[in-house]
Homo-oligomer: A and B are copies of this chain.
Amino acid sequence: MAVTLADVAARAQVSSATVSRVLSGNYPVSEATRARVLRAVDELDYVLNGPASALAAATSDLVGILVNDIADPFFGIIASAVQSEIGGGQRGGSGEKLAVVCNTGGSPERELTYLTLLQRQRAAAVVLTGGAVEGPEHAAAVTAKLGRLAAAGTRVVLCGRPPAGEEPASAAVTLAFDNRGGAQRLTEHLLALGHRRIGYVTGPADRTTTRHRLEGHRAALATAGLLAGAEELTVHGSYDRASGYDAALELLRRRPDLTAIAAANDTIALGVCAALRDRGLRIPQDVSVAGFDDLPFSADAVPALTTVRLPLQAAGARAGRLAMGREATPPGGVATIRSDLMARASTAPPPEKA
């Protein structure tokens, strides 16, 4: 039904081996026959059969990018950067890779399923982005799966999640985000402004990102001798706006005298802001608010959101290059991406009366 290599060979009056050589380009072929073959390809509108090619060559041009939530710009920005380095459109010739993003929805099972599907396809590389779920058995399953992928020749890159497995030489190259340090600096900023009762709104407790950011926050509190009562001032939810909204109301109920709320990401922070506004509280005069990630909309919020900037675009691009083998592995296989405090208008000293 579809036109095959043999059809092209017949039309160009050469053997199918020659056609294959012309197309893959990594073998000497006379200019004359090359032209003839190319013309036949064009006339017949031939398209390489990927599966057959992958079967024979034992490799494929598929690269998988796993994200927790494709509708969240945090992941969209990273995925976009990864993909721009991988290709799927820049050249017409070789090195053509199909970069493809898979949405796990934050579910461990789906993550594993996608990994298996990618393994089935003999993917050339896999990039896992964002925090991991910390269930002990699941973590082990993922580590094992990644090990098998690596063993089968698939390049594995982690971007924004901590190194997998305990071994010093993990199978995966890792770009870790400095979540702990960033969160700590953010809370220090709040403390320096004079805040003493700081609410904290975060995501699911079983995610590495959640844990690390919370640890940074607590570390800053500990240094200031404010660890007592921290538990009461912490609310877990999911990483979305609605969750931030509800959590802010809950915090206000628990501690009506709080003067600041730090959120584990910008999207939550937006929900917090909305809740405060609905309660008639002014930002930052009555309550200061801070986020994390510095997504594009954060600078545009009213007031502009104080947050911690993560170079998502740059990190994604680097992950892409790593996945393509176009950049050297960092020493020890792990590089940590720095985060920067962006102090803006949503944070200020607490009200005088406090």
Binding site for B on A (CB under 8 A): 1-2, 45, 47-55, 60-62, 64, 69-73, 76-77, 79-80, 83-84, 88-90, 92, 96, 98-105, 107, 109-110, 113-114, 116-122, 148, 152, 241, 270-271, 273-274, 277, 296-297, 300, 302
Contacts and interface: CB of A to CB of B under 8 A. Distances in A.
A192 to B, nearest CB: 27
Given A49-B120, A55-B51, A117-B98, A71 B80 contact: yes
25 contacts: A50-B122, A51-B52, A51-B121, A64-B100, A69-B80, A70-B80, A70-B101, A71-B73, A71-B76, A71-B77, A71-B79, A72-B73, A72-B76, A76-B76, A79-B103, A83-B103, A84-B103, A84-B105, A88-B117, A89-B110, A90-B110, A101-B101, A101-B102, A241-B300, A270-B300
A113 B89 contact: yes
Nearest to A74: B71
A300 B104 CA distance: 27
Given A88-B114, A122-B51, A70 B60 contact: no
A51 B45 contact: no
Contacts of A122: 49-51
B51 A241 contact: no
A2 B122 CA distance: 11
A102 B88 contact: yes
Please give the count of copies of this chain that the complex contains.
2
Given A51-B52, A52-B51, A109 B89 contact: yes
Contacts of A101: 70, 100-103
A99 B102 contact: yes
A49 to B, nearest CB: 7
A102 B79 CA distance: 10
Given A53-B120, A88-B110, A99-B103, 18 more contacts: A2-B152, A45-B148, A49-B55, A50-B54, A50-B117, A51-B52, A71-B76, A71-B79, A71-B80, A80-B105, A88-B114, A89-B113, A92-B113, A96-B117, A98-B102, A98-B117, A101-B102, A270-B297
A317 to B, nearest CB: 13
A288 B102 CA distance: 40
A113 B47 CA distance: 12
Given A76-B71, A300-B274, A48 B120 contact: yes
A89 B70 contact: no
Contacts of A96: 113, 117
Contacts of A80: 69-71, 103, 105
Contacts of A113: 88-89, 92, 96
